[in-house]
Structure 1
Amino acid sequence: MSDSSKPNKAVILARGLGSRMRRESDEASLTKEQSAAADQGVKAMISFGRPFLDYVISGLADAGYDDICLVIGPEHDMIRDYYDSIPKSRVKISYAIQEEPLGTANAVLAAEEFAGEDAVVVLNSDNYYPVDAYRALHELDGSGLIGFDPEALIEKSNIAADRVGAFAFVVADADGNMEEIVEKPDAQTIARLGDEAVVSMNLWRFTPAIFAAAKQVPLSTRGEYELQDAVRQAIADGDPFTVVPLAEGVLDMSNRDDIASVADALNELEVVL
């Protein structure tokens, strides 16, 4: 077993259906290849010279994560075929299959065998996070997440002010541990949470305790097993989550309208897998 306090394993949630990416938008800004990937809802494989997911994985490698697990659906041959065929010098890539799209907690649970007894970093496949965020999670001793400053997200990301409320807001207690997490809060709730609230962009560090918690959560009103519910369960079971504040931006690729801004931001980045 490797040292769980210094994880080198990362789990990327790439099972999402990408329904918003399939919606109509301004096709003039998309290449034929980008449009085809968007039509299939496979956001991670939208090309910016190379697939978006390559940039995500390269950033993880920059921070010392060399054992990568992609959580995919049984239909995602596009992802598996691509990563099985390309040369890799810095990372090893494996796959975990989420048989049905039953939510983010279920997706994390699919990676239980990959994680084993080690801690893992878990992230979305449609966000490009700063390397410093990965490094900060690497230094934690237990479970935690990056809490992004809302103003920095607006200033340094492609996320407009009116979109910040679409993410989860987090409040920490006096010890820096998560006290409350609210998904998609309205303006009144954001005001209640106060100026110290930060934004979760779904960038986590989990100990193996998350898997026991994920097995306990009920279906949400959306008919999914939600990762936030699993986190609350893990905390209730005695696994505190450190909130690591970070005043940096995140590139978000939720829909087609984000593709042009992501292309501009990734233009100068070097990718080495």
Structure 2
Amino acid sequence: MKAVVLAAGEGTRLRPLTAEKPKGMVEVAGKPILTHCFEQLVGLGADELLVVVGYKKQAIIEHFEDEFQGVPITYTHQREQQGLAHALLTVEEHIDEEFMLMLGDNVFDANLGDVVSRQQSERADAAFLVEGVPMEEAGRYGVCVTNGDGEITNVVEKPDDPPSNLVMTGFYTFSPAIFHACHMVSPSDRGEYELSDAVDLLLYSGHTIDAVRMDGWRIDVGYPEDRERAEQRLDPSTVSPTDADTADGPVEPMNTE
């Protein structure tokens, strides 16, 4: 199964860490965020990494070159930052089967393999790793509505009035049907082609998407303090006594800048 990593964003909220490098190259626990992503995807059985680059793309290409731990890397270029659905279309010509998708600014220690297994079970056309958060925090995320069978029935991007507290975490599996849906998406109020809108089109056309509850943790490294939290998670010995009570706080929302 191929794996797509979206790593084109500028990471404006991570400045000054991203002044000279893309956010995927910001180091967490001594190695770039993208290295953490690639390690997990290769561990899940990825046989090719498709990396969507943009802002300061040469830093990524020169660091990783054309393979990672023996797995080939193919780079595609998102020339303008127009949303996740727009970024995903840059890999369309390279994919003709089910694939994994990871946002390249997340650090996970979670049951990603359960999502892949669900996709391969032939029960679902797609599967998402989802997490329950406090209702007052849900509006900062892509929010999922599910039915009694654990299937996603609706996705709303950062709603003012969240219909649930179940949110997407940044790890998905899809069939190639997602590309047709991405082509059909119109720009949102933010002027971006939203992945959540493409997902809704999949659902409207009768595709089944399963929600897999996260067992573990993830941190979206959107701000400098998120990098510190991720390092504390990966190496608990770095947690100071004053930090210990807050290290398990809620994750920050996913960022596409």
Following TM superposition, where does structure 1 have runs of at least 4 consecutive aligned residues deviating by more than 4 angstroms? 161-164
**1:257: which partner in 2?**
225
SS in 1 for 2:150: coil
Q: Does 1:170 align with 2:153?
A: no
CA deviation string 1:181-223 (max 9, x = no partner): 222234xx34x53xxx421112211111111111011111111
For the residues of structure 2 that align with 1:71 and 1:220, how far apart are their CA atoms?
21
Question: TM-score scaled to structure 1, two decimals?
Answer: 0.77
For the residues of structure 1 that align with 2:89 and 2:108, how far apart are their CA atoms?
22
Greater RCO (CA < 8 Å, at least 6 residues apart)? 1
For the residues of structure 1 that align with 2:21 and 2:13, how far apart are their CA atoms?
8
For the residues of structure 1 that align with 2:214 and 2:203, how far apart are their CA atoms?
22
Q: Does 1:147 align with 2:96?
A: no
The 5-angstrom pairing of residues 69-108 of structure 1 reads 69-73=50-54, 75-84=56-65, 88-108=68-88
Does the CA-based 8 Å contact 1:45-1:79 persist in structure 2? yes
Q: 2:23 aligns with which of 34, 43, 54?
A: 43
SS in 2 for 1:78: helix
**1:225: which partner in 2?**
193
Does the CA-based 8 Å contact 2:110-2:217 persist in structure 1? no
Q: 2:93 corresponds to which letter in structure 1?
A: E
Larger helix proportion, structure 1 or 2?
1
Residues 40/222 of structure 1: CA separation in 2 closer, same or farther (3 Å cut): farther
Larger strand proportion, structure 1 or 2?
2
**RMSD over aligned Cα, in angstroms?**
2.3
Does the CA-based 8 Å contact 2:146-2:154 persist in structure 1? yes
**Corresponding pairs, count:** 231
Stretch of structure 1 that moved more, 127-136 or 248-257: 127-136
Residues 223/88 of structure 1: CA separation in 2 closer, same or farther (3 Å cut): closer
Stretch of structure 1 that moved more, 258-267 or 49-58: 258-267
Q: Does 1:181 align with 2:155?
A: yes
SS in 2 for 1:222: coil
> Alignment identity in percent?
28
Q: Does 1:12 align with 2:2?
A: no
For the residues of structure 1 that align with 2:68 and 2:177, how far apart are their CA atoms?
31
SS in 2 for 1:171: strand
For the residues of structure 2 that align with 1:260 and 1:235, how far apart are their CA atoms?
37
Q: Does 1:235 align with 2:203?
A: yes
**1:54: which partner in 2?**
35
Residues 134/110 of structure 1: CA separation in 2 closer, same or farther (3 Å cut): farther
SS in 2 for 1:242: strand
Q: Does 1:198 align with 2:166?
A: yes
For the residues of structure 2 that align with 1:259 and 1:93, how far apart are their CA atoms?
25
Superposed displacement of residue 163, structure 1: 5.2
Q: 1:113 aligns with which of 93, 114, 129?
A: 93
Does the CA-based 8 Å contact 1:60-1:134 persist in structure 2? no
Superposed displacement of residue 58, structure 1: 0.5
Question: TM-score scaled to structure 2, two decimals?
Answer: 0.81
Residues 119/201 of structure 1: CA separation in 2 closer, same or farther (3 Å cut): same
Q: 1:123 aligns with which of 86, 99, 102?
A: 102
**2:116: which partner in 1?**
137
The 5-angstrom pairing of residues 204-215 of structure 1 reads 204-215=172-183
Superposed displacement of residue 74, structure 1: 6.9
Does the CA-based 8 Å contact 1:170-1:198 persist in structure 2? yes
Superposed displacement of residue 180, structure 1: 1.9
For the residues of structure 2 that align with 1:66 and 1:76, how far apart are their CA atoms?
22
